[in-house]
Amino acid sequence: MSHCRQQRSGRDFCKKEQCCPLPPCDTRFEIKGVLAMKSVEEFRFMKRCLLLAKRGEGNVHPNPMVGCVIVQGDKVVGEGYHEKFGGPHAEIIALKNAGKKAKGATMVVSLEPCVHFGKTPPCTDAVIRAGIARVVIASRDPNPLVGGKGIRRLRKAGVQVKIGVLQSNTQALNEKFFKYMRTGLPYVGIKLAQTLDGKIADGAGTSKWISSKAARTVVHRLRHEYDAVLVGAKTVLSDNPELRVRLIRGRDPVRVVVDGRLSLPTTRAIFNTAAAPTWLFTSSRAAGAKKEKIRKLVSQGVRILSVPSEHRLNARAILRTLAAEGVSSLLIEGGADTIDGFINQSLADKLYLFVSPKILGGGLNGFTFTTPRLLRTSIHCTTPTVQTIGEDLLLELLFIHD
């Protein structure tokens, strides 16, 4: 899969809050005739690249978020970021902003410049033509179309190249892209909203609303950032969700429903595909036995994807099918049954856990595995980052896989 990178146009790259004054000239040094920056300056400008890159979040699929800054002496002379899939690359717009000042300058960029023809010509050729003397790169590109080739092309042309400045930060920013490129499977996030005692719904099955509107707004932001959002049949029956992006301005993800028995009524809101696409996974057995329902759903615009199975669908098979369709990230908003398969097959990458200051004392649990684990075999996560969102807490954790 090729990827292009676009960035903002215009010459608004030197706003007061965006520029970092550099120390005097004696903090720089020569490397083979090239005036280079010390590490502290490289970190500073790479942080700026990452801030720029993040502006493209949710708009650049299937591409990574990329930012670029061009520095001449102690001044930023050009910058750019990938704004929307199919547009010019971050490096290209930064070079355009820099103009003739790019000659002999240092380019700081968060991902290795591309060397292949995709939506646009290779960035490496433009970098070389502009006379950039040195390129500081956060991370190699995991895309096999690039993967080190851009770095080799630059060095062959006599451009000094340094790699690894804030590498982990760049890879964390583009965690979905790196996972997809390295494994061929979508990055999987799981979102749960629960009470203090771990309930995702009360005893009557009501879950609207456990979390605050502020927390729900964050969920809509997550939907915007993921390619697809998945729920199981029970969630569709109990909540009748639309799974669209409404509380913020953003794109609607592909809506994925897992219904192994093909039991859902065709009148559920999620099967109204006029606003957003819906894909339904079902078992090959159900698809063969309920052809009339299949025809009805297809006539409504629903895409049917059958997986060889009796009823319960394999999570890995679902991910492989989604990956083959170009889905590089998946947000799961289903209940305990849906979550079970992804977590216990070590297919989940991140957990977004919203905790509301409510206690029910009973109801539906968020985590109920088909085969409960012992303490020694429990699933481990990283130490969470914690934010206060309205009246709720948001814990973000990464699943630790052996």
Could you tell me the two tokens for 355? 């905790």
d(CA 129, CA 362): 67
* 387: phi then psi, degrees, rounded to nearest 5: -125, 150
By DSSP bridging, strand 160-163 and strand 254-258 are unpaired
Q: Please, are residues 356 and 178 in contact by the beta-carbon 8 Å criterion?
A: no
Please enumerate in sequence order all residues whose Cβ is within 8 A of that of 334, keeping only pairs 6 or more positions apart, or say none: 230, 231, 232, 234, 235, 258
How many C-beta atoms lie closer than 10 Å to residue 286's C-beta? 20
By DSSP bridging, strand 106-111 and strand 134-139 are parallel
91 catalytic? Reply is yes
**Residue of 41, 79, 83, 91 with catalytic role:** 91
Instruction: Burial-class residue 120 by CB neighbours within 10 Å (0-12, 13-18, 19+).
Output: middle
d(CA 280, CA 69): 44
d(CA 109, CA 89): 11
- Closest by CA position to 1, among listed 166, 227, 162, 235: 227
Question: Left if phi > 0, otherwise alpha if psi is -120 to 50, otherwise beta: which for 31?
Answer: beta
Q: What is the CA radius of gyration of the chain?
A: 24
- By annotation, the residues acting in catalysis are 91
